[in-house]
Amino acid sequence: MMQYPSKLVEEAVEAFAQLPGVGRKTALRYVLHLLRQDEATVKKFGNVFSRLREELKYCKTCFNISDHETCSICSTTKRDHGIVCVVEDVRDVMAIENTHQYIGVYHVLGGIISPMDGIGPNDLQIDSLVQRVAAGNVHEIIMALSTTMEGDTTNFFIYKKLKEFNIPVSTIARGISIGDELEYADEITLGRSIVNRIPYEKTFSSRGN
């Protein structure tokens, strides 16, 4: 265990070291970088995170991160609110928005079903999705989860939940290689995979079950 010359530096290192993929050496490098900045910059850095969790809201319709009660996508009349694209988190919304190929709205689950990480259906915004569909204004669901086992499991769970409503449920085309994370896909592949989406039932046969 390294000995830090200052309790405050140690606290700052521990704060950074809790971030994913950041060890104590990297954390210390971050802290030393901040110490080389002027006081106002470092203060601002701290203030952003002091406000972050407190002031941030989630859209009450799609549960995307938002500065307001309803996000800018859910509140515009320029989108087709009858098409709902189901994604894992805000990064996927950003990635899809960046393709400029999608005119519908979103539903952000806040994760995917992952028993290994203790994440079950009740930890996700699945009930709210069902309620949204049950309310009657949704005429198509596009599943845009990562093509991993957890993504497939979540797809299937939601597909079964929505079956009774008799609306088409599709998944984005498997142009994205199996096992890849959605957020790292290039814009053209991702954009095309939305345009060429296929009915969810057809994804069974292509994988042999």
Instruction: List interacting residues with its own copies (CB under 8 A).
Output: 2-9, 11-12, 15, 18-22, 25-26, 28-35, 37-39, 42-56, 64-67, 71-73, 89-91, 93-94, 97-98, 183-184
Contacts of 87 (CB under 8 A, 6+ apart): 93, 96, 106, 107, 108, 109, 144, 145, 182
**Residue 132 Cβ, how far from its own copies at the closest point, in Å?**
18
Q: Which is nearer to its own copies, 28 or 133 (CB)?
A: 28
Q: Which is nearer to its own copies, 93 or 143 (CB)?
A: 93
What type of residue sits at position 71?
C
Q: Which is nearer to its own copies, 25 or 202 (CB)?
A: 25
Q: Which is nearer to its own copies, 54 or 136 (CB)?
A: 54
Q: Which is nearer to its own copies, 39 or 135 (CB)?
A: 39
Within 10 A of 62 (CB to CB), how many other CB atoms are there?
A: 25
How many angstroms separate the Cα of 203 from the Cα of each of 114, 199, 206?
Answer: 21, 7, 5
**Residue 138 Cβ, how far from its own copies at the closest point, in Å?**
21
Number of H helices, E strands in the chain: 9, 7
Q: Which helix (H) or strand (E) holds 155?
A: helix 149-162
**Residue 151 Cβ, how far from its own copies at the closest point, in Å?**
17
**Residue 145 Cβ, how far from its own copies at the closest point, in Å?**
16
Distance CA 50, CA 44 (A): 10
- DSSP bridge pairs for 199: 170
**Residue 67 Cβ, how far from its own copies at the closest point, in Å?**
5
